[in-house]
Structure 1
Amino acid sequence: MDRSVIQAVIMLVFGNNVAILSDSLIKLVGSHDAPFQFAFLRLISALVVLMPLMVLLKKPLKPTHTRWHWVRAHVWLVSSLCMVISLTTLPLATANAVFYAAPLITVVLAVLLFSERASLASFIASGLGLVGVLVIVNPTEMNGFALAALVVALSLAINNLLIKKLPAQHGVVETLYYTTLLALPLAALGAWIEGATWSWSMALLAFGSSVFVLIYAATCVFAYRAAQSSVVSSAEYTGLIGAVLVGMVFFAEQPELRFYLGAMLIVVPLVTLTFLQREGRGQ
């Protein structure tokens, strides 16, 4: 397997398991009554981290070539709002199982919109992954909160693909900074209209969540620039293992048998695909 592909897969595996920590902090919020306030606080927290890095790297704080950064920023905001709604109402593992429809959507959109070439094995792995998600969620129990999780999945897929539209000269830190800065005005307006009471505990949770999600976002930028989306996107499914472990240990969640069956449908095809690609490159 190409070294860049291996690095991309490793980064996605790491990033998705770090993202579980962010999801756990969101779940601790305990209510979805003020999603805009939480999103706004996460953005402010991210800027606190990113602005010193921009200064240290001697990058301009004023955004340039912002068209696709602006689009990604607002797609991110939608996903952040829906993430608060879904994670505070669904079990951690269930919500993440729905989030992991994102790699399948990524492959399909990459082929349809960006003319990327996907192997039959990639389609099969992604398809089995989606079946695994459906087994875990049980479509007969779908509700508005699960639909919010699906919106998160769609948003993640769109933003992963839009990375290729960003200016090549913008590095990871710049990309994260511009996305954060450009989403701030609408998030602030939404929080003001929302009118929720200020919460210091939410601010602390938002800061921690923001740090973890920045790490996740950075790994996505690196991975999807290093390799084709259709080749590496299935690696995102591995975070599901972290979700069930964290849910069991910290939230006393006990997944049913169907969760483990679904997880096998997600992880086994990924491992198989990795070996097939390694053998194919070696020939």
Structure 2
Amino acid sequence: MPKMSVGFAMVLLVLGNIVAVLSDALIKNMPTGTAVYQFVLFRQLTAVLMLLPFCLINTKSKLFSHVKWHFVRGHVWLFGAIFMVLSLQALPLATVNAIFYTAPLLMLPLGFLFYRDKLTIPTIAVSIIGFIGIIIVVQPTQISLAAISALIVAVTMATNNLLIRKLPYHHNVVQTLFLTNLMGIPFALSLAIWENQPLDWSPLLTAASSNLFILIYAGICVFVYRTVEAHKISSAEYTGLLGAVVVGIMWFDEVPDMSLVIGSALIILPLVWLAALESVKHKK
């Protein structure tokens, strides 16, 4: 796949994160008591149905060859989806997104562990400052299962983005998204059965709609992280936080407090600086 410019990749990530906020808002708007595992299963199934026609068009590549990393990534994706629903149902939209957007921060140490990506003094400093920002947003004295759930989502998002490098290149973006969702269906079905809730079709439309938005975001992530190193563009992910604040105020009457503003600034601004620093180095 040919390389794209850092600037174009960051524009795509900005658009993707705005779309992702709409998906989060739809999930947050679901009635209290919705069966979580059943809803996640609906999302997996609707994703596969949406993507299947596009996969059938391209019959030249072997869809089910080399699917080991798709299987791993699919279950990480499923794990994150479950905790995403739990956190969105319990926390303000902007707070959840602030925690979600620690994913690019987590990609720095995880990139070192997975691929031995170089950790410089600036990246280490950004990680430390970002960690302080996480503490301010989460507020350990008021920590809850919902906040922990949101942090787990951030870890799965970072892991998923880094695992993209392991995927076979003969699978295009649509096939990658199809396989990611398909691989998780058996386990999602077993969780829905274990949940033992009456079958309720009312969340199906919400599942399909939110899924459409998140598939657009995921597709953009696959596209850009396959072609540009993560540390150069990951700061663009944070633009969605502004969208989350706006949607939270307009849709849910959630006004962010000062701790969210300060903590988010400590997470976002150092990463923006790091991206600018990397961009200058690249030009040299």
Normalising by structure 2, report the TM-score: 0.92
Mapped contact 2:43–2:211 kept (Cα < 8 A): yes
CA contact (8 A) 1:32 1:84 kept: no
Deviations 1:141-164 (A, max 9, x none): 111111111111111111111111
Range that drifts further, 79-88 or 257-266: 257-266
Residue 279 (1) aligns with residue 280 (2): yes
Cα-to-partner distance string for 1:64-90 (whole Å, 9 max, x where unaligned)? 211110000111111011111110011
Distance 1:166 1:120 in 2: 30
Asked if the contact 1:107–1:233 (Cα under 8 Å) also holds between the matched residues in 2, the reply is no
Residue in 2 that maps onto 1:197 = 198
Matches within 5 A, 1:230-245: 230-245=231-246
Shift of 1:200: 3.1
Match of 1:26 in 2: 27
Alignment of 1:61-80 (within 5 A): 63-80=64-81
1:235 CA displacement: 2.2
Q: CA deviation at 1:126?
A: 4.1
* Counterpart for residue 229 of structure 1: 230
Give SS of 1:200's match. coil
Partners in 1 of 2:261 and 2:165 — Cα distance? 35
Instruction: Give, as a single letter, the amino acid of the residue that structure 2 aligns with 1:277.
Output: E
What is the percentage of aligned positions where both structures have the same residue?
Answer: 43
Aligned length: 282
> TM-score normalized by structure 1?
0.92
Q: Which amino acid aligns with 1:41?
A: F
Q: Which runs of 5+ in 2 are unaligned?
A: none
Structure 1 residues 236 and 173, CA gap change in structure 2 (3 angstroms): same
Q: Aligned ranges for residues 108-257 of structure 1 at < 5 Å? A: 108-257=109-258
Q: CA deviation at 1:245?
A: 0.9
* Separation in structure 1 between the aligned mates of residue 239 and residue 135 of structure 2, nearest angstrom: 16
Following the alignment from structure 1 to structure 2, what is the Cα–Cα distance between the partners of residues 149 and 32?
Answer: 19
Show CA shifts across 1:175-233 (max 9, x none): 00111111111111211221223333311100011101101111111121111122222
* C-alpha contact 2:75 2:184 (8 A) present in aligned 1: yes
| Structure 1 alignment gaps of length 5 or more | none
Which region of structure 1 is more displaced relative to structure 2, 35-44 or 59-68? 59-68
AA at the equivalent of 1:233: S
> Counterparts of 1:66 and 1:91 in 2: how far apart (Å)?
37
Is contact 1:22–1:210 with CA below 8 Å preserved after alignment? yes
- The question of whether the paired residues in 2 share the 8 Å contact of 1:116 and 1:230 is answered with no
Further displaced range: 196-205 or 214-223: 196-205
Q: Secondary structure at the match of 2:90?
A: coil
Instruction: Tell me whether 58-67 or 252-261 shows the greater mean CA deviation.
Output: 58-67
